[in-house]
Amino acid sequence: MPRSVATNSGTIPTTLARPGALRFWLAVCLIGASTGFAAAALTRLLEVIQRVAWRGSGNNILAAARQAGASRHVVVLLTAGLLTGIGQVILKQLSSGNGIDTTEAIWFHAGRMPAWRTLGSAVLSIFAVGMGASMGREGAPKQAGAVFANLFADKEGLSDEERRLLVACGAGAGMGAAYGVPLGGALFALEVMRGKLALRFVLPALFASLIATGVSWLGLPNAPTYHIPSFPLSASVFLWTLAAAPIFAFGSILYVRLVRWADKNKPRRWQRFIAPAVILGLAGIVSIGFPEILGNGKDLSQLLFADQVGTRLVLALLLLKPLATVMCMRSGVPGGLFTPSLTFGALLGAALGHLWSTFLPGVPMGFFALLGAGAVLSATTQGPISAVVLVMELTGRDRSFVLPLMLIAAISTLIARSIEHRSIYDARLSDEQVALRQKLRERESNDIGIRQQALQDATHATDSERSPQSGL
């Protein structure tokens, strides 16, 4: 059982007139601003590391890796493994426990996280991803946002309930700032991290994410992450969506369970130093023939959306890319799972699209990859609303693909959630913690129901007093 469980002491001030509202909203603004600066700094650091390690463009590791010699692949990844091992040993001395998990902190520790170890893990993940580890770069800004949320919650003397929300908002703000997706970051904070789309939570999440994203644009370009054409709708697309959705659901279930396996079997003691070097060294050897496995998968996803990856390579990477991510996590390499999950979905969508096109040609391959990315992203995070909005913001496109994207995201998530209750962000929670979290959610829902019933009773009583007495 977890050592402590967050209490519901304190309420979220929904207006500026509520007691303590100014302190709360000041904390929201400070979290957004500091997270935006941190996201910009961490992104620039990532680009510098990629440029130094691969001697290429700071924002396209795949292009640089394709031009690099075989020895550089091995040396860079082996160095990343050794650096990760040393960093993990040092971070272990900063606090007890096997790792840092924002979801666990929000639900069971009132959002409290060890500041220095969390920031150290964030910076270490930037070095690992920049040198080619198959993990997401958004993990670092999310962790930074959580640390700032704790800092300002302490400074303003906020309640546990306020801290829990602010840590989720900080993580979402980190996501929004890292990828320039303010609305998606806010929805991610609520739907995925906090686990509840409640009205009293919406404004804090929106303000934190939009401030963080706006601040990050002072140092980062305000441009879509992925560039795609306007895909035409057709009956074939919708038929494929209905047929493929269950496959994406089961693929997502397998992916989540592999992530859980990797987390439960992370190295301990002296293996923390050895395992990253061994796994990343092997990844360096494999990347000589398949450089697409390197990095978080952003460049590979762009190629898939533009239909610039052949069928055989798609099938090979469908196995190798998620395997690289799972093994990196298994070895203890820190990093996010958002973009790797999106890339896995794009690969699976492209593979199923090639199969479909042998019978019903005419749909662009990039369309299949895009819908697959949204389906897996939705099912693995169990956040269909945030997933749809994130795909829209990441591509910066109009509404041409929204209807099939919503359909495949909803079906995939429904099937996946019916079988596997965990998302990729819940993977490290024990069965007892998952059960306890469900009880906490039910308790919150009951509390809301009681308050709503009391309000209805009071309103009814007031109406009765105001109505004229009937008589003969």
Concatenating the DSSP letter of every residue in 379-394 gives HHHT-HHHHHHHHHHH
Domain 21-216 sits in CATH 1.10.3080.10 = yes
What's residue 9's pLDDT?
45
Interval 176-218: pLDDT, tens: 999 999 999 999 999 999 888 888 899 999 999 999 999 999 9
Interval 235-240 mean pLDDT: 96
Instruction: Indicate whether 96 pLDDT > 80.
Output: no
What's residue 11's pLDDT?
81
Whole-prediction pTM? 0.89
Q: Distance between CA 227 and CA 261 in Å, rounded?
A: 34
Average model confidence (pLDDT) across the chain: 88
Highest mean pLDDT, choosing among 82-96, 239-253, 263-277: 239-253
CA triplet 308, 310, 316: central angle to 5 degrees? 120
Identify the band that residue 2 occupies on the pLDDT scale cut at 50, 70 and 90: very low
Residue in the block written with tokens 């000589």 = 288
CA nearest to 299, candidates 353, 248, 227? 227
Identify the band that residue 368 occupies on the pLDDT scale cut at 50, 70 and 90: very high
CATH architecture label of 235-431: Orthogonal Bundle (1.10)
CA triplet 161, 162, 164: central angle to 5 degrees? 65
What's residue 5's pLDDT?
44
Q: Distance between CA 164 and CA 157 in Å, rounded?
A: 13
Phi and psi (nearest 5°) for 232? -80, 145
What's residue 19's pLDDT?
80
What's residue 430's pLDDT?
78
Interval 362-382 mean pLDDT: 96
Instruction: Indicate whether 472 pLDDT > 50.
Output: no
What's residue 56's pLDDT?
73
Q: Distance between CA 116 and CA 244 in Å, rounded?
A: 44
Q: Distance between CA 432 and CA 2 in Å, rounded?
A: 9
What's residue 297's pLDDT?
93
Identify the band that residue 99 occupies on the pLDDT scale cut at 50, 70 and 90: low
* Long-range Cβ contacts of 45-48 (<8 Å, 24+ apart): 45/123, 45/126, 45/130, 46/126, 46/129, 46/130, 46/137, 47/130, 48/130
Which residue did the predictor score with more confidence, 430 or 219?
Answer: 219
What's residue 269's pLDDT?
82
What's residue 102's pLDDT?
85
What are the structural domain ranges in the chain? 21-216, 235-431
What's residue 434's pLDDT?
78
Q: Distance between CA 322 and CA 314 in Å, rounded?
A: 12
